[in-house]
Structure 1
């Protein structure tokens, strides 16, 4: 376990869509497959078991054809309010693996996604923090903030387009 102090990575965006629509985009497999992942990546949802102890297992394919598997293990679900899970890179069977391009990236990430509606618009806030991470993993996380900002911005762009198309 790390003795390093690291700050949460936090990013938010307000979408021009009601909470019910945004929640469904995050919790229905057929919708997740339409927008999940960084810009340019295609998603294939293998499993979405939305309950504490359930799992979201997915495949992302880069524009160059590189496959990256991921998984989320849900810890807490408050409908239309928040999703809390531990996420990691994965293998095709759903086991935990290292980041395919950054071996010192934290093996596990604690993630909280919060949803708040105002005036038929929904703000989604992502909070990310290494979980049970080594000092090296925490340092890599802190050094990766620009990359995290770019990745989540691209993912939010895809979600925004998905919501607009619906």
Structure 2
């Protein structure tokens, strides 16, 4: 079985607001990605079959492009997409940090509300990985969790500002 990474985060905000923070580029640009990186949305078409294409750039590094292809959306409850590193035109490319990173990663976000808070569950899995891709994905579990944790801390701060 392919590797899978699962993480959860609880936000002090209603589910509808957290869901909107993931689906509207005017929200995403305020919190998505690594802290301190420039973020630019090229395309935001939030629907099954739609695409979210953006760039992110560290202060001292090169711009990286990422593309999400949405496959399932259940309003306020669930978002499923496959993410790819891409070029500026949206063509799939190898990850700039490791040639063995999986070409595609299936991401499932589930939003559950409990007592006015939102519990977000994220499940990531490589799409049709080679043995080397599966291995690097497994070995990167802590890095992936750390990256999402920092991003979710930024979202938590942002939600406090807008709620």
TM-score by length of 1: 0.94
Are 2:111 and 1:112 equivalent residues in the alignment? no
Deviation of 1:47 after TM superposition, in Å, equals 1.1
Q: TM-score, normalised by structure 2?
A: 0.96
What secondary structure is seen at the aligned counterpart in 1 of 2:29? Answer: helix
SS in 1 for 2:46: coil
Q: Is the counterpart of residue 50 in structure 1 residue 46 in structure 2?
A: yes
1, 8, 11: which one aligns with 1:15: 11
Moved over 6 A (4+): none
> Tell me, which stretches of 5 or more residues in structure 1 are unaligned?
none
Instruction: Write out aligned runs for 1:123-142 (5 A).
Output: 123-142=119-138
Q: In the TM superposition, what whole-angstrom CA distance separates every residue of 1:109-155 from its partner, at most 9, and x where no partner exists?
A: 11101101111100111100000111100001001111101111111
Is the 1:108–1:131 Cα contact (8 Å) retained in structure 2? yes
Q: Distance in 2 between matches of 1:115 and 1:40?
A: 26
CA distance in structure 2 between the partners assigned to 1:121 and 1:14 by the alignment: 7
Number of residues of Structure 1 aligned to a counterpart in Structure 2? 162
What is residue 122 of structure 1 aligned with on the other side?
118
Task: Select which of 144, 148, 152 maps to 1:156.
Answer: 152
What do you get for the CA RMSD once the two structures are aligned? 1.0
Q: Which structure 2 residue ranges, 5 or more long, are not aligned?
A: none
Preserved CA contact (<8 Å) 2:4 2:138: no
